[in-house]
Amino acid sequence: MSERKILIVDAANVVGSVPDGWWRDRRGATERLRDGLAGYAERERAEVVLVVEGSARGVESVPGVRVESAPGSGDDRIVELVAAAALPCVVVTADRELRRRVGEFGAECLGPRAVRPAAPHAHARDGTGAGNGDGDRDRDRDG
């Protein structure tokens, strides 16, 4: 990221992109993602916003990563942030509908692997090998 941009991360989507047991401790998985993003923010000199929802609400911000707890839908909060941003935005998600919505405001989109490498032998979001539909194709193409 050479020009200053805001990186907005769809926490639920990125956490769910790797079947590493996140479903047993959604909040802990989100905290681990946040901590990894702090290193990314420092390396890339990026402003990073992690949008959380549901049981991950209440995860605290850390230096380099501002955590936004969505009062309702995380996707809706991400669209609001993109629409109000003074800088260009990059949104990290594999959610096609969210990509379409933020694209209307000129946001660039990246897949979850842009900030979180796949786990070894990760074939599905839920660990079953069944995949998660269109999100898998988006991640393979974009992230």
Cα–Cα distances (Å) from 34 to 52, 67, 68, 123, in that order, read 10, 8, 11, 23
Q: Which two tokens stand for residue 6?
A: 């805001």
Place of tokens 């032998």: 121
Q: Looking at 2-6, 61-65, 96-100, which range is the least confident one?
A: 2-6
Q: What is the pLDDT of residue 132?
A: 38
Residue in 64, 113, 117 with CA at minimum distance from that of residue 92: 113
pLDDT tens digits, one per residue of 6-29: 999 999 999 999 888 898 999 999
Amino acid present at 41: A
pLDDT digits (tens, 9 = 90+) for 31-90: 999 999 998 888 888 899 999 999 999 999 999 999 999 999 999 999 999 999 999 999
C-alpha to C-alpha distance for 40 and 57, rounded to whole angstroms: 22
Task: Residue 9: name the closest of 51, 42, 72 by CA.
Answer: 51
Q: Indicate the pairing of strand 6-10 with strand 89-92.
A: parallel
Contact 92, 112 (CB under 8 A): yes
Contacts for 26 with CB less than 8 Å, ≥ 6 apart: 15, 54, 55, 56
Determine the Cα–Cα distance for residues 135 and 14; give it in Å rounded to an integer: 10
- Return d(Cα 108, Cα 121) in angstroms, integer: 28
- Confidence category of residue 119, pLDDT binned at 50, 70, 90: low
